[in-house]
Amino acid sequence: LSILRRVGRQAEGAGLRAYVVGGCVRDLILKRKVLDLDVVIEGDAIVVARKFSSDRAGTLTVYPQFGTATVLLPDGRAVDFASARRESYLHPGALPVVVKGNIKEDLFRRDFTINAMAVAINPKHFGSLLDYYGGFDDLKSQRIRVLHGQSFVDDPTRILRAVRFEERFRFRMEPATLRLLRESLKRKAPATVKPQRYFEEFKKNLKEDRAPENLRRLSRLKALDFLEPSFKLEQRHRRLLREAPQTLLWADKHLIDWPSQNAWLVCLMIIFDGIAPARVARVLEKFAVANTDRKKIIGSLSCGNILVKLALSRREAFKAMRPLSVEEILFLRAKTLNVSARMRIQEHLLEWRHLKLQINGDDLKRLGIPSGKNYKIILDEVLYALVEGCCSSKSDQLARARDLCQQHQ
Ligand code: ATP
């Protein structure tokens, strides 16, 4: 509130009207946590952003080509400033052409009525809601509604956004919106958007807490075939998606070093399960998925083969999981119904993968072991012994290394 009041005063000082808009208005009304503040100025937003930034010792980043600016406050919060604008689309799926406009026009270019409300923040009007398109009623009735019939054609990423908001808030698209969405899918509207841009929006669906529900809804709507023609979820994917939340919850609770924002990768592994690696590689290439993520996803396609090894000794289980990423192993955890395999997976994630030897190559040298590739074999063997619960002290590890050295000579 104090930020908004200040911005409102500064806009007033510059003779401009200021509003807080979009997702933050929606979240305020829903009494959800508001993380980012989006401010729209009727006029030059950069002028107000500059004033606000210098006043609050913020860090200002200006994007003159878009008439926007972001102020990062010392406490880590960010306020985005944009000049009110009107949009038109030269062709479906293209990025819009933008010209200056008023707040009503700015709200009209938005995706759904629930995201198309503004609250005035100039001192005299502070707190008045601008709701030209029925967003408040739709919020109360838990409805997702587009602002006009061309919406999904203009910007097909709204197909993914509609499902994202449906599942996040447990809302539903109202019938006309659902019909328009289905029509745009029939006409293959997503193909008009740059694949990378469409995939970035899809990633946001996968990053939601209710990612499995997002995927099931998209599949039922036949909205996953942007990945590949006729792509849809099979029975095995549905089973894995039912398992995923529990696995991801477990990871959130127990793996302090695992960033939960990587959960989207596990979801992607699930929906590619059972698909030929060459086909998956083509999809990942098309959407320019980053190399590190690509490697993990391709790796997950064959990690089903190692499930049998998890039932063998701890040492074999460790050797099988050692080269895998945490995401691949979480995928395995969702995949297996075998209780002892799950135990091994948990042991690996919680304990084994963090084990460090107290000896290294220098110790082997000091023992008089000739250097060479045997070092790796010996140190690996000592590590396997550690996994098996032996050799926890340095002296035990040295003794084991000495024995192994004799065996390898
Ligand atoms: P989230 O909580 O996921 O960030 P959000 O509604 O704040 O949800 P953003 O993607 O941050 O979503 O976008 C901010 C606002 O910009 C939206 O509320 C909406 O008004 C508008 N917007 C974003 N993407 C689109 C789009 N593709 N078409 C039209 N308006 C959009």
Tokens in use for 5? 């009041």
Q: Which atom of ligand 1 is nearest to the CA of 22?
A: 18
Cα of 191 vs its chain's centroid, Å? 22
Q: What is the pLDDT of residues 19-35, one digit of tens each?
A: 999 999 999 999 999 98
State the angle between helix axes of 394-408 and 374-387 in degrees (0 to 180), rounded to the nearest 10: 130
Nearest Cα residue to atom 25 of ligand 1: 111
CA-to-CA distance for 308 and 136, rounded, in angstroms?
55
CA-to-CA distance for 364 and 371, rounded, in angstroms?
8
pLDDT of residue 304 exceeding 80, the answer is no
Contact 23 CB / ligand 1 (< 6 Å) = yes
For the whole model, what pTM was predicted? Answer: 0.90
Nearest Cα residue to atom 8 of ligand 1: 23
Give the distance (Å) from ligand 1 centre to CA of residue 38. Answer: 10
Nearest to 332 by CA among 304, 311, 351: 304
- Considering 136-150, 311-325, 380-394, the range whose residues carry the highest mean pLDDT is 136-150
CA-to-CA distance for 58 and 41, rounded, in angstroms?
19
Give the distance (Å) from ligand 1 centre to CA of residue 152. Answer: 14
Q: Which residue has better confidence, 115 or 90? A: 115
Collapsed DSSP state (helix, strand, coil) of residue 28: helix
pLDDT of residue 372 exceeding 80, the answer is no
pLDDT at position 221? 97
| CB 192, CB 91: distance < 8 Å | yes
Contact 111 CB / ligand 1 (< 6 Å) = yes
| Mean pLDDT along residues 76-104 | 88
Give the distance (Å) from ligand 1 centre to CA of residue 317. Answer: 45
Contact 208 CB / ligand 1 (< 6 Å) = no
Give the distance (Å) from ligand 1 centre to CA of residue 284. Answer: 25
Q: What is the pLDDT of residues 151-188, one digit of tens each?
A: 999 999 999 999 999 999 999 999 999 999 999 999 99
Contact 155 CB / ligand 1 (< 6 Å) = yes
Contact 304 CB / ligand 1 (< 6 Å) = no
